[in-house]
Amino acid sequence: MVEQDGNAATPSALALFASCLSYRRFGDEDLRVLEAALSTGADVPALLATRSAAQSLLQASAAEAFACTAMGSVLDSGSSLVADFFARAFALVGDVESCLAMRYEALLLRDAKCCNDLHLQVSHQEWFTFAKDSLDNGFYAIASKAFANALAHIHPSHPGHLVSANPIEEKDKINDITGLQNLAKSLSAQHSVQTQSAEYMKRRASGVHEKCNLQSGKPKLTEISMFRLGIKTRNIKKLLRSQERNLGDLKQS
């Protein structure tokens, strides 16, 4: 029985959810157990602690479940359903990155296993929706791949392609997807360059601090040296802020 006291209820509810996962239960009822655990707590810090604990639990359980799938266990036949379960669970705890990763896994598994079943195969609209969500959340490389899958599914050569009653509308749809895919590619490249640049500048900043530490046993820096060090540090921070603004402008354009 779950304790009624706010502080004790959360661990008990989370332990119940952990038990569900240990028995490989991946259903709607188990998600409701998780939801109950996340809504039980005496205060905000307790809720945040529960959310963090649930996130760690889900990450470990998902890794274990898909390790079993890779080995060809009984989970393999329902692996797309398992991925969908974890996607919804990660959404509940607010882990956007893991949620998108699980959604991507579920779509790929359905694509591989249900390509000949019109009722179960992934539609171009599902890929498009996932791609847009990935783009909006800053996962540009995955978004680009998902847009490519959406285009592949809308192509006449795809097994699940349905002949459109309005060829012009279908052409416009293809152009829209292509445009967003190009945007995702551009943002991915820009993000990669800026990430490398930011890491380089951080290393430089770290080098400045290390140099300063090495000299700590020596006489204090002269005023002019301290001034130059301050200028370098400020310029590094200004560059990083400028790069972040440029990336933000690209996302809004």
Are the beta carbons of 87 and 59 closer than 8 angstroms?
no
Select, from the ranges 103-107, 127-131, 235-239, the one with the highest average predicted confidence (pLDDT).
127-131
- Structural domain containing residue 67: 1-121
Q: Is residue 114 part of a domain?
A: yes
Is 30 within a domain?
Answer: yes
What is this structure's pTM?
Answer: 0.64
Residue 78 maps to a domain: yes
Could you tell me if residue 56 is inside a domain?
A: yes
Residue 100 within any structural domain of the chain = yes
Residue 201 pLDDT exceeds 80: no
- Cα separation, 157 vs 111, whole angstroms: 15
Tell me, yes or no, whether 197 lies in a domain.
no
Residue 1 has pLDDT above 50, yes or no: no
pLDDT at 8: 45
* Residue 112 covered by a domain: yes
- Span 156-200, pLDDT tens digits: 655 555 555 567 888 889 999 999 999 999 998 887 776 666 666
**Which two three-digit tokens encode residue 221?**
């820096």
Contacts of 201 (CB under 8 A, 6+ apart): 236, 239, 240
Assigned domain for 1 exists: yes
Q: Which two tokens stand for residue 180?
A: 């967003």
Structurally, how many domains does the chain consist of?
1
Contacts 24+ apart (CB under 8 A), 143-147: 143/180, 143/181, 143/184, 143/188, 144/181, 144/184, 144/185, 144/188, 146/104, 146/107, 147/177, 147/178, 147/180, 147/181, 147/184
